[in-house]
């Protein structure tokens, strides 16, 4: 699984053979420059999901339900999920957390015939509760809570589970105890799959968490290319004759 937030990234990811695309609310940080994911709106998520669908018409696309869209009432929760499926053309939605209210939200959405991906561990929408982006489940009590929540979200109807920022042992135990696929991001080697942020693996992000492996350094490549363009324009090397419609003959100029 890989994130995709627009037409070109989704198109490239689908062409490369990625199994699943996630239009994550991480778009707020890596595309919009927000300090966290809490400021991302439903409208923004719908628009990014539409763009990703246009780029990857055959992909299975999961769209994040942003902060506040599933926290107030079950009616709002269902209505907002419909927006991502009908307008955004997503195949499934993802919500964070495993509390009782989240279980009810999962049940309500599934009851609308909408597939739900659950998300446990380091849930970015809970950073104010966690006190930042910190690994979850290190202490025994918290470890057990996340394990119990994993079993509970499956019972509530989630068909897949993202596990983020947890000890490897917990990722392994959850994967063994639930019957739905687990997708890890900083959850070790024993989950059923992995998800990464597009900009992280391509070297286009401001941050580099421990769990990220960079497969390219596009920031340097892009900056160099733009610098060469600027240099060519200022030195009048660009546009050259081959880039011009009906160039003026230099002899008759």
pLDDT digits over 45-68, tens only? 999 999 999 999 999 999 999 999
Does 251 share its domain with 177? no
Residue pLDDT, tens place only, 180-226: 999 999 999 999 999 999 999 999 998 889 999 999 999 999 999 99
First to last CA, the chain: 57
Instruction: Quote the tokens at residue 43.
Output: 């409208």
**Nearest Cα residue to 163 out of 189, 195, 187:** 187
Find the length of the chain: 253
Question: 16 pLDDT band (50/70/90 cuts)?
Answer: very high
Confidence of residue 250 (pLDDT cuts 50, 70, 90): confident
Say whether both 181 and 238 belong to one domain.
Answer: no
**36 DSSP assignment:** S
pLDDT at 11: 98
Rounded Cα distance between 156 and 74, Å, is: 14
In a shared domain, residues 253 and 131: no
- Give me the catalytic one of 44, 83, 154, 164: 164
- Tell me: the pLDDT tens digits for 85-134? 999 999 999 999 999 999 999 999 999 999 999 999 999 999 988 888 89
Residues 192, 237, single domain; the answer is no
Same domain membership, residue 174 and residue 106: yes
One domain, residues 113 and 235: no
pLDDT 10s digits, 176-188? 999 999 999 999 9
pLDDT class of 35 with cuts at 50, 70, 90: very high
Over residues 224-235, the pLDDT tens digits come to 999 999 999 999
Burial of 142 (0-12, 13-18, 19+ CB in 10 A): middle
174 and 237 within one domain: no
CATH of the domain at 112: 3.20.20.60
Q: Are both 207 and 235 inside the same structural domain?
A: no
pTM of the model: 0.95
The pLDDT score that the predictor gives to residue 252 is 61
61 and 138: one domain? Answer: yes
146 lies in the same domain as 245:
no
Are 138 and 202 in the same domain? yes
Active-site annotation holds for 164: yes
Count of domains in the chain?
A: 2
pLDDT for 253 equals 54
- What is the distance between the alpha carbons of residues 37 and 226, in angstroms, rounded to a whole number? 29
Which residue range forms the structural domain that includes residue 249?
A: 217-253
Top pLDDT among 249 and 200 is at 200
Residues 140 and 231 in one domain: no
Q: Tens of pLDDT along 133-154? A: 899 999 999 999 999 999 999 9
pLDDT value for 251: 66
């Amino acid at each position: 699984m890989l994130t995709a937030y627009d037409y070109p990234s989704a198109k490239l990811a689908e062409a490369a053979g990625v199994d699943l695309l996630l239009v994550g609310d991480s778009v707020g940080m890596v595309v919009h420059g927000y300090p966290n994911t809490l400021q991302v709106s439903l409208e923004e998520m719908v628009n990014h999901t539409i763009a990703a669908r246009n780029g990857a018409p055959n992909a299975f696309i999961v769209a994040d339900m942003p902060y506040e869209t599933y926290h107030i009432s079950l009616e709002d929760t269902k209505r907002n999920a419909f927006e991502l499926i009908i307008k955004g053309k997503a195949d499934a939605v993802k919500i964070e957390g495993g509390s009782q209210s989240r279980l009810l939200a999962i049940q309500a959405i599934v009851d609308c015939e909408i597939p739900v991906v659950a998300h446990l561990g380091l849930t970015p929408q809970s950073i104010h509760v966690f006190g930042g982006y910190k690994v979850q489940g290190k202490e025994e009590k918290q470890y057990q809570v996340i394990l119990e929540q994993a079993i509970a979200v499956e019972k509530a109807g989630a068909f897949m589970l993202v596990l983020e920022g947890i000890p490897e042992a917990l990722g392994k135990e959850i994967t063994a105890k639930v019957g739905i696929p687990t997708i890890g991001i900083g959850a070790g080697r024993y989950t059923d799959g992995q998800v990464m942020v597009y900009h992280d693996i391509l070297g286009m992000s401001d941050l580099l968490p421990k769990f990220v492996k960079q497969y390219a350094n596009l920031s340097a490549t892009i900056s160099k290319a733009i610098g060469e363009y600027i240099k060519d324009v200022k030195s009048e090397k660009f546009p050259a004759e081959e880039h011009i419609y009906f160039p003026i003959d230099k002899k008759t100029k």
